[in-house]
Amino acid sequence: MKAFSKFLSLLAVVGLASSAQAITIGNDAIDRTHGDGFSNFSMALLTEVVPAGGAYLTGWETYIEYGAQGNMALLFLEDKGSNNYEVKFVDERTVALGLNSFSASGALDAGWIMGIWMGTAKVSFDYVSGPDTTFTANGVLGSAPTVGQTVAYTGNITDRVYSINATVPDAGATISLLGIGLIGLAAVSRRKSR
């Protein structure tokens, strides 16, 4: 019986501690050779959307292009219509040239759109046909927008892929692991109460 209790304890620990399969919102954070000429502006990456069921952010990374280190922020935005987006999540960081990786946490609702605020930092990009991006005018946001703020995006481009991504555990895998862990804990608790 002791061996069985130990097995159930191990199952509980593994079920709660295992990391779920991660999914990525965004693109590989690699050197893509270009950086924006704008500063103090924001972009909504309209094809980078939080999946159905929502997600929980665990980290993000970006690649900063040539001589353009400084401040930037990862954003998640809710489309309010008429080119207006409400800021729902902000993680502002000071970045250096090259690859930058950060731990971050926050609940993200399904349908929220990934965004970027760039102060002086320049997220690397390539010209690639397809991705839809909307942006603010140059210099209109002297600091990162705040949660609850509505930002008007006035421009649109369809030919850029930016080196930024957010990591979120797959919601289904997280629930399965939690369920296994809770079953294990319940069995251990029941055995100890006898």
Give the least confident one: 31-40, 75-84, 181-190.
181-190
The encoded tokens of residue 57 equal 């952010």
Q: Residue 163 class from Cβ within 10 Å (0-12 exposed, 13-18 middle, 19+ buried)?
A: buried
For tokens 């990525």, name the residue: 24
Examine the pLDDT at 11 and tell me if it is beyond 50: no
Maximum Cα–Cα distance across the chain: 69
- Residue 58, pLDDT score: 96
Type and span of the H or E element at 3? helix 2-17
The rounded distance, in Å, linking the Cα atoms of 27 and 161 is: 7
pLDDT band at 3 (very low <50, low <70, confident <90, very high): low
- pLDDT given at position 8: 43
One DSSP character per residue, 8-62 reads HHHHHHHHHHSPPPEEEEE------SB--S--SEEEEEEEEEPPTT-EEEEEEEE
pLDDT score recorded for residue 4: 53
What pLDDT, on a 0 to 100 scale, did the predictor assign at position 86?
98
**Do 144 and 48 form a contact (C-beta atoms < 8 A)?**
no
